[in-house]
């Protein structure tokens, strides 16, 4: 039995019927990782012994008739900017190459409480800064649908590992599209929850007001299962977290108003991506939904606001990496300033340094009002536009990305072109809203296209319910054969 091809929900059913064991699921998972990892490069570390210990614990509980958690025996990959006690957490950076956290992120504690099995840590763009997973200090991850192409970023390893059936579930983080974009490019389901729905404690910060941990899966049901296990308040660890409990998917489509924002279907978005999303909306209409044309006029300025705000926060958050307290030690010769210069110039990669410099610039005296303050004003304007839009519709449908996966190295020499890959997703983070990407077809090259569904704050039940309706209507989502 090829257990690696099973969904998390299917594996859970088999386990509870005692048709398989957690150890058998893990052994099949590790064998699959060994088989395809040389072509995909999704994992930065495989933690087989720790995973086997957890799998044995689950099997012992089941043998004794004890209660087990919602994710019992299910392998879940973890993006390597989420802290795992006793397991290396590198953020795909030379700066943290040997960092072993003394504590778990809250989401990891929740996974352990749910009896999930963690087989390893997944690759990303360094410190989650990038849109292609090419900015990793260690290696680029490849897209399972075409290994000469990128999987998207920054959570490229998390998306690729699910698409390649290495794990049925994974966690990523999303600051401006870093869950949804790779989900769209890799043909899997990815959820960016409402800001505050999932604790950020133990997530290595990029932009604290925008970051959110989110789940990946091959089906909507699997994503809902993982989201339900990790959401909720986490005081006093994360003061921005909310006392939110996922009630399950809302399945009613009749009369549901689906907003079609004209700004997301204009220039810059490929005709194939537009057509695939509109075809998906037509299928929702056939099931009882009502398409409504809307406008979000500030969208054209959102990318600029996002990179100003996120870079400013990155400059502040990454100031702690100075080669003294922790991180890459740098050259200990010379003055203290020489040490700082050595540690940060050698420890950080080009993209991280680019964003730190931009953030420091927009926060500096004489430029704060001209750039950062105006970006924050635009952030409030974008949030108001979404609030107004949701008076006319219940969910909003857009392309997840402006195009399908591009080739490795194709955009590395042009940062601005790379940044434009986030044009459809950054507004969701700016407004603190939930968004989910679901596969909605393929382009002429056979590469996946994603549809993004956006809802009001804490509307994950409705969003995932709509996504589930679409998944059922198309007969499920394709799995790439490797």
What is the pLDDT of the chain when averaged over all its residues? 96
SS3 27: helix
pLDDT reported for residue 187: 98
Cα gap 186→159, rounded to integer Å: 6
Kindly state whether residue 388 falls inside one of the protein's structural domains.
no
Question: Which tokens sit at 114?
Answer: 């749910």
The number of helix segments (H) and strand segments (E) in the chain equals 15, 11
Banded pLDDT at 159 (limits 50, 70, 90): very high
Instruction: Return the axis-axis angle of helices 22-40 and 48-63, rounded to nearest 10°.
Output: 160
In the three-class reduction of DSSP (H, G, I as helix; E, B as strand; rest coil), residue 448 is classed as strand
> If we measure between CA atoms, which residue out of 196, 211, 202, 203 comes closest to residue 244?
196
Query: How many CA atoms does the CB half-sphere of 469 hold within 13 Å?
Result: 23
Count of structural domains within the chain: 1
Using one digit for the tens of pLDDT, what is the confidence trace for 258-276?
999 999 999 899 999 999 9
Domain of 22, in residue numbers: 3-254+467-473
Residue 117 lies in a domain: yes
Q: Which helix (H) or strand (E) holds 257?
A: strand 257-261
Active site (annotated) includes residue 154: yes
Q: Note the pLDDT tens digit of each residue in 14-33.
A: 999 999 999 999 999 999 99
The pLDDT assigned to 292 comes to 98
Confidence of residue 343 (pLDDT cuts 50, 70, 90): very high
DSSP bridge partners of 396: 259, 454
> Exactly one of 6, 12, 45, 79 is catalytic; which is it?
79
In a domain, residue 115? The reply is: yes
Buried b (16+ CB within 10 A) or exposed e, 96-130: beebebeebbbbbbbbbebbbbbbbbbbbbbbbbb
Res. 394: pLDDT tops 90: yes
pLDDT value at residue 267: 87
- Residue 131 included in any domain: yes
Beta-strand runs (E) in 64-119: 76-79
> Residues with Cβ < 8 Å from 410, sequence gap 6 or more?
none
Determine the pLDDT at residue 336: 87
Give the active site residue among 12, 155, 161, 178. Answer: 178
Q: Catalytic residue among 136, 154, 199, 315, which? A: 154
Rounded to whole angstroms, the Cα distance separating 244 from 432 reads: 15
At residue 347 the predicted structure's pLDDT band, cuts being 50, 70 and 90, is very high
- Check whether 251 has a pLDDT greater than 80: no
In a domain, 106, yes or no: yes
Q: What percent of the chain has pLDDT over 70?
A: 100
pLDDT at 185 over 90: yes
365 is catalytic: no
Average pLDDT over residues 369-375: 95
Span 217-228, mean pLDDT?
98
* pLDDT score recorded for residue 109: 98
User: What's the CA gap between 416 and 413, in Å, rounded?
Assistant: 9
- Contact (CB, 8 A) for 196 and 210: no
Is residue 243 situated within a structural domain?
yes
Query: What pLDDT does 78 receive?
Result: 98
Rounded to whole angstroms, the Cα distance separating 273 from 292 reads: 19
Predicted local confidence at residue 252, as pLDDT:
85
Residue 374 pLDDT more than 90?
yes
pLDDT at 407 over 90: yes
Q: Which band of pLDDT confidence, cut at 50, 70 and 90, is reported for residue 287? A: very high
- pLDDT number for residue 416: 87
Residue owning tokens 């989910």: 436
Contact 187, 147 (CB under 8 A): no
**E strand segments, 310-460:** 395-399, 435-442, 448-454
Q: What are the residues whose beta carbons fall under 8 Å from the beta carbon of 117, sequence distance 6 or more?
A: 22, 25, 26, 51, 54, 55, 58, 73, 74, 75, 76
Question: What's the confidence (pLDDT) of residue 327?
Answer: 86
Task: Confirm whether 177 is domain-assigned.
Answer: yes
If you average pLDDT over residues 182-205, what whole number do you get?
Answer: 98
Burial of 473 (0-12, 13-18, 19+ CB in 10 A): middle
Task: State whether the Cα torsion 84-86-92-95 is positive or negative.
Answer: positive
DSSP state at residue 213: E
Residue that the structure tokens 């689906």 belong to: 258
Domain holding 175: CATH number?
3.90.1300.10
Confirm whether 295 is domain-assigned: no
Whether 178 is a known active-site residue: answer: yes
Note whether 356 and 318 are within 8 A (CB): yes
Instruction: Specify the 3-state DSSP secondary structure of 361.
Output: helix
| Residues 297-333: tens digit of each pLDDT | 999 999 999 999 999 999 999 999 988 877 898 877 8
């Amino acid at each position: 039995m090829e257990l690696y091809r099973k969904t998390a929900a299917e594996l859970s059913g088999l386990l509870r019927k005692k048709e398989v064991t957690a150890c058998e699921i893990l052994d099949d998972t590790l064998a699959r990782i060994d088989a395809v990892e040389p072509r995909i490069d999704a994992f930065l570390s495989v933690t087989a012994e720790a995973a086997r210990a957890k799998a044995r614990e689950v099997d012992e509980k089941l043998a004794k008739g004890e209660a087990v958690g919602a994710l019992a025996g299910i392998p879940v990959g973890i993006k390597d900017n989420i802290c795992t006690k006793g397991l290396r957490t590198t953020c795909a950076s030379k700066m943290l190459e040997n960092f072993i956290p003394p504590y778990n992120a809250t989401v990891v504690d929740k996974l352990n409480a749910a009896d999930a099995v963690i087989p390893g840590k997944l690759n990303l763009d360094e410190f989650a800064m990038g849109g292609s997973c090419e900015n990793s200090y260690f290696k680029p991850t490849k897209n399972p649908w075409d290994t000469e192409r990128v999987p998207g970023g920054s959570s490229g390893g998390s998306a690729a590992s699910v698409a390649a059936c290495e794990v049925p579930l994974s966690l990523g983080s999303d600051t401006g599209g870093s869950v949804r974009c790779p989900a769209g490019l890799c043909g899997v389901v990815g959820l960016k929850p409402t800001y505050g729905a999932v604790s950020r404690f133990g997530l290595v910060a990029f932009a604290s007001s925008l970051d959110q941990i989110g789940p990946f899966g091959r089906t909507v049901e699997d994503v809902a299962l993982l989201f339900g296990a990790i959401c909720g308040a986490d005081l006093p660890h994360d003061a921005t977290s909310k006392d939110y409990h996922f009630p399950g998917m809302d399945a009613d489509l009749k009369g549901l108003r689906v907003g079609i924002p004209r700004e997301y279907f204009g220039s810059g978005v490929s005709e194939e991506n537009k057509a695939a999303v509109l075809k998906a909306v037509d299928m929702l209409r056939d099931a009882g939904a009502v398409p409504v044309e809307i406008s979000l006029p500030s969208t054209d300025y959102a990318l600029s606001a996002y990179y100003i705000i996120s870079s400013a926060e990155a400059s502040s958050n990454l100031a702690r990496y100075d080669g003294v307290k922790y991180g890459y030690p740098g050259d200990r010769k010379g003055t203290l300033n020489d040490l700082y210069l050595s540690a940060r110039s050698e420890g950080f990669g080009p993209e991280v340094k680019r964003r730190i410099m931009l953030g420091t610039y927009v926060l500096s005296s004489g430029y704060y009002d001209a750039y950062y303050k105006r970006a924050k004003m635009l952030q409030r304007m974008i949030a108001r536009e979404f609030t107004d839009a949701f008076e006319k519709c219940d969910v909003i449908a857009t392309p997840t990305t402006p195009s399908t996966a591009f080739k490795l190295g194709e955009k590395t020499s042009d940062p601005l072109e790379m940044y434009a890959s986030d044009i459809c997703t950054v507004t969701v983070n700016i407004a603190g809203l939930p968004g989910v990407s679901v596969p909605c077809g393929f382009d002429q090259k056979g590469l996946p296209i994603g549809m993004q569904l956006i809802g009001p704050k804490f509307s994950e039940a409705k969003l995932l319910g709509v996504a589930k309706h679409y998944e059922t209507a198309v007969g499920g989502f394709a799995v790439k054969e490797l």
